[in-house]
Amino acid sequence: MDGFWKEFHPILYYSGWIIEGGPNWTSFPDGVTINVATDKRNDPAFVCGWQLSQLLQALHVENISFHVNQTTPSLIQCPKCTEVVLGDIAVH
């Protein structure tokens, strides 16, 4: 996970993403979870999340999941955003 984050963080940062820590959960789903608040395929959040999931899959990052119509606290505050949750991607 640390190796992936060291490579992924600058990409997000220099692309203008807001990077913040989430709740202090004791466990995250394994891999990379991408959440959006809509299922409308022409919505920018959907397009961004879907394209990110496809890019990561093309790079052979394991355990990528894309979820639509999510109501996480972050997406309630910013329904036009794409939320990325990083779990332990080293677990197979």
Along the 92 residues of the chain, how does pLDDT read in single tens digits? 557 778 888 888 888 887 776 655 555 667 888 999 999 999 999 999 999 999 999 988 888 999 999 998 889 999 999 998 887 654 33
pTM of the model: 0.79
pLDDT at 36: 95
Query: Where exactly are the structural domains of the chain?
Result: 31-92
* Cα 63 from chain centroid (whole Å): 12
Secondary-structure percent of the chain, ordered helix, strand, coil, rounded to 5: 35, 15, 50
